[in-house]
Structure 1
Amino acid sequence: LIVNVETTPATTPNDHMIAVVHASLAQRHHLPTMHLADKGYTSAQVLLDSQRDDQVAIIGPVADDPSWQAQAGEGFAKADFQIDGDRQVATCPAGHPSVSWLPNTYPKNGVVWEARFSRQDCTPCPHRAQCTRAKKEPRILGLQARDQHEALQTARAAQTTEAFREQYASRAGVESTHEQAIRRCGLRHCRYIGLAKTHLQYLATAVAINLIRVGEWLAGTLTTPTRCSRFAALQGAA
């Protein structure tokens, strides 16, 4: 059943809404201890804030490292460096320590520190082509705040495990709720102008879906299994 409805402008980032949803659920004593969410809601700051402020564990895939080093998979992504936040030193996979650890001049995407390595180490390094594409400059490692960095690395490691996949599989059921709201109740078609009226429409849609589901449950109506496309069926047969 749908237990909370929030309506926002289309430009509102998903991860900005987790705290709002949790506050609304807490007021009605519906706050869970675990919240399954998709990748749009699982920024490092959300993982930390939710656990600290609401005692709710956000379970969901976090964004992969977008760097070309991570995509290459040759051992020179940020996760392959040893980060010592206490000493403010990063050690590369080849064993060379950073020579400086300075605040990022233009913070972006949560990157607040830059660990810079020595030219004397980077220039002759046999792994330079796998580590940096700079012509002359050494490797510069952009780092988030320590707690964010550790939360993100922990989450990335956890999401590769079978236990995570089994736990997160429970979220698949909400996709049918999305489809029911879209196909049966026209959720994507806004009938009114203005956020307040639109929110009223969405509240009515949520109530309608809940009534439909309660009625089907009382009537013993079996849920329809996920439809398999003809192309997917051919793949299975092959």
Structure 2
Amino acid sequence: MRIRFSSADCKPCALKENCTRSPRRLLTPRRREEHAALEAARAREADETFAEQYRWRAGIEGTLSLGVRALHLRRARYLGLTKVHLQHVLTAAALNIGRIADWLAGETVASTRRSPFARLISQAA
């Protein structure tokens, strides 16, 4: 179900800029069960235990991202389960050796990437 407001209704409204940038407003309400699940998920995200679990997840996703970018982790070079497993083990070892080398060299872990737009805004402020 979608609710469409007429552009004739939205155009004279003083709060249109706060509501939408398009000529008219379009709303898509969720079913009651979907809305309740979304509200429960948002409440769970506000909890401190979720933040701790997410920190772990973010670290793991950073490791996977590094493997994908640097070592082409998504593409298997070999055929057969045994050879692909060996590739995964060697890829993990290469990641660990790279991290140990960075640690011994005193390089710090990179902070979260900031978009060019966010950097521009922080420089302007």
Residue-by-residue CA offset, 1:140-181 (whole Å, 9 max, x unaligned): xxxxxxxxxxxxx8xx59724331333123221122211111
Three-state SS of the structure 2 residue aligned to 1:184 is helix
Q: Which runs of 5+ in 2 are unaligned?
A: 1-29
Out of 79, 96, 100, the position equivalent to 1:210 is 96
Letter in 2 for 1:169: Y
Out of 34, 38, 45, the position equivalent to 1:71 is 34
Letter in 1 for 2:47: E
68 and 198 in structure 1: CA distance in 2 versus 1, 3 angstrom threshold = same
Which position in structure 1 is the counterpart of 2:115? Answer: 229
Alpha-carbon distance between aligned partners in 2 of 1:165 and 1:187, rounded to the nearest angstrom:
28
Question: Hey, which of these two has a bigger chunk of strand by percent?
Answer: 1
Out of 24, 49, 64, the position equivalent to 1:164 is 49
Q: Check conservation: 2:45, 2:51, Cα contact below 8 A.
A: no
Q: Check conservation: 2:76, 2:84, Cα contact below 8 A.
A: yes
Which position in structure 2 is the counterpart of 1:45? Answer: none
What's the offset of the Cα at 1:210? 0.6
TM-score by length of 1: 0.33
Q: Check conservation: 1:158, 1:164, Cα contact below 8 A.
A: no
Q: Which runs of 5+ in 1 are unaligned?
A: 1-66, 78-152
TM-score by length of 2: 0.59
Alpha-carbon distance between aligned partners in 2 of 1:185 and 1:68, rounded to the nearest angstrom:
43
- Higher-RCO chain (CA-CA 8 Å, sequence separation at least 6): 1
Q: Check conservation: 2:68, 2:74, Cα contact below 8 A.
A: yes
157 and 230 in structure 1: CA distance in 2 versus 1, 3 angstrom threshold = closer
157 and 187 in structure 1: CA distance in 2 versus 1, 3 angstrom threshold = closer
Runs of 4+ in 1 over 6 A off after TM superposition: 235-238
Question: Hey, which of these two has a bigger chunk of helix by percent?
Answer: 2
Which position in structure 1 is the counterpart of 2:87? Answer: 201
Instruction: State the aligned residue count.
Output: 92
What's the offset of the Cα at 1:72? 4.1
Identical aligned residues as a percent: 37
Which position in structure 1 is the counterpart of 2:21? Answer: none
Residue-by-residue CA offset, 1:38-62 (whole Å, 9 max, x unaligned): xxxxxxxxxxxxxxxxxxxxxxxxx
